[in-house]
Amino acid sequence: MFYKGFLAYYHAVDLDECASQSNSGEEGRQPRCQHLCHNYVGGYFCSCRPGYELQQDGHSCQAECSHELHTEPSGYVSSLEYPRPYPPDLRCNYSIRVERGLTLHLKFLEPFEIDDHQQVRCPYDQLQIYANGRNIGEFCGKQRPPDLDTSSSAVDLLFFADESGDSRGWKLHYTTEIIKCPQPKTLDEFTIIQDLQPQYQFRDYFIATCKQGYQLVEGNQALVSFTAVCQDDGTWHRAMPRCKSKSQCPRGPPTTAAGTWAKGERGSPDGASPPETLPCCVLGEGWRLSGP
């Protein structure tokens, strides 16, 4: 009697631990990833949605929004899970930092929904907004905040939530615009702004001069020249000077704290150049500083 034996083929099939229990039929092997499950040949691993951190057990996730930094010139910032209800017990800090000379504009989107109370304003959850450390608003409820011009390149959003509630949260779109300085205006009819521009922005400058027969004066000091630069906070780094008639200057050699400018050879006794500012008039031709 002869036996032919047998021949069999086999191949290994990876078990998808991330498959649902109803499909896998392997209830004991089903992982319990709180958020996201990723299968690979021979195993799996868990991960969390943005704004959460994976805990030491490798499966559970906890909200982490204590310091979220945005540095792009425009973008979006929102509460966790938006537009689904945000998690309970939150202490979130969202920071926006853009280049000096830019100002941030904030525009909230719909829906806007933060737990509120009919009698007490924002007793449970609230969104606080700070620009350069200055509080510019505290918000809650279902009414979308107005568009905000922060006049700042640094904004912080602090979001607090207690252990209850099911509100959907908030989302904003931020954009930037270069800082502008106010149009320079002369203080008298004798001051001239050279090449006056229709608009001045960060790092722009203007030069002021006087009509013939007049002298630039800043306070009690006469100026040889005047230039003002637009700063990153939207102000000019120097105040506008005035122009006074040169005939108002006292007769005789002008004086300074360093001594008297005497007629004769140019330059002071120590070889220094004339100072940029004088009490009234710019030195006439041929004056020099003599010792006190």
Note whether 29 and 18 are within 8 A (CB).
no
Q: What is the pLDDT of residue 21?
A: 40
| Per-residue tokens: 107 | 């525009």
Mark whether 38 and 81 lie in a shared domain. Answer: no
Q: Are residues 117 and 214 in the same domain?
A: no
pLDDT tens, position by position, 88-126: 889 999 999 999 999 999 999 999 999 988 888 888 899
Query: What is the spatial distance between Cα 180 and Cα 76, in angstroms, rounded to a whole number?
Result: 24
- CA nearest 183: which of 199, 202, 166? 199
- Kindly state whether residues 138 and 111 are assigned to the same domain: yes
- 171/80 same-domain check: yes
- The pLDDT value given to residue 84: 93
At 23 the three-state DSSP class reads: helix
Point out the residues of the chain with pLDDT beneath 50: 21-22, 24-25, 250-292
According to DSSP, the residues that pair with 208 across neighbouring strands are 193, 226
136 and 237 part of one domain = no
Q: Are residues 156 and 201 in the same domain?
A: no
**151 in any annotated domain:** yes
- Joined tokens for residue 193: 């702004």
In tens, the pLDDT along 54-91 reads: 989 899 888 888 888 999 999 999 999 999 999 888 99
Is residue 48 one of the residues assigned to a domain? yes
Q: For residues 91 and 152, state if they share a domain.
A: yes
Containing structural domain, residue 47: 31-64
Domain membership flag for residue 211: yes
Q: Strand, helix or coil at 86?
A: coil
Judgement on whether residues 152 and 238 belong to the same structural domain of the protein: no
3-class DSSP state of 29: helix
Residues 95 and 105 in one domain: yes
What per-residue confidence (pLDDT) applies to 260?
47
Residues 171 and 189 in one domain: no
Sheet holding 126-131, edge to edge: 68-70, 90-97, 154-161, 126-131, 134-139
* Cis check: omega of the bond before 83, within 30 degrees of 0: yes
**Nearest alpha-carbon partner for 44 in 25, 30, 62, 61:** 30
**Model-level pTM?**
0.64
Residue 23's φ and ψ, nearest 5 degrees, are -90, -35
Number of H helices, E strands in the chain: 1, 25
Q: How many domains does the chain have?
A: 3
pLDDT number for residue 256: 43
| CATH number of the domain encompassing residue 223 | 2.10.70.10
Three-state secondary-structure class, residue 259:
strand
CA 158 from chain centre, in angstroms, equals 15
- Helix H segments across 50-90? none
